[in-house]
Amino acid sequence: DTGVSQNPRHKITKRGQNVTFRCDPISEHNRLYWYRQTLGQGPEFLTYFQNEAQLEKSRLLSDRFSAERPKGSFSTLEIQRTEQGDSAMYLCASSFVSTQYFGPGTRLLVL
C-alpha cells in the first residue's frame, strides 16, 4: 500500500458531459474526504465519509455533484453536466484518526 491513489490523474471533457473520478484510500482508513483546489487557492472541503456513510457535504457541492463510497472502501465523485467553472484539481484524502493523507489529485479541464 503506497498511499492514497486517484484515477484518472487528468481528465479533459466538454461542457455538458459527465465525469467520474475514483479514490482508493489507504487500507483500513475509515475516513475519506474530497477537496477541490482551484488556481491560486488552497484545497476546499467538499464532502466526508465515515466508512460508507456520507456524513457531511459542503455547500460547494451542488446538485450536479454526487459522491459514493460503497462498502466503505474506494470512493467515486461524479460531476454531471460539467461546466467550465468545474475545472479544478480534485483531491482525495483519507485518515484513521486525525492526520489526513492526500492523494495526487485528478486535474479536470472542462472545455
Partner 1 sequence: AQRVTQPEKLLSVFKGAPVELKCNYSYSGSPELFWYVQYSRQRLQLLLRHISRESIKGFTADLNKGETSFHLKKPFAQEEDSAMYYCALSILTNFGNEKLTFGTGTRLTIIP
The residue ranges that bind partner 1 (CB under 8 A) are 3-4, 31, 33, 35, 40-45, 48, 50, 55-56, 91, 95, 98-105
- Rounded to a whole number of angstroms, the minimum distance from the CB of residue 56 to partner 1 is 5
- 26/13 Cα distance (integer angstroms): 28
- 85/108 Cα distance (integer angstroms): 10
Nearest CB to partner 1, comparing residues 35 and 65: 35
Nearest CB to partner 1, comparing residues 88 and 91: 91
Alpha-carbon distances, residue 83 vs 1, 14, 15, 51, 100 (angstroms): 35, 8, 5, 30, 29
Nearest CB to partner 1, comparing residues 42 and 70: 42
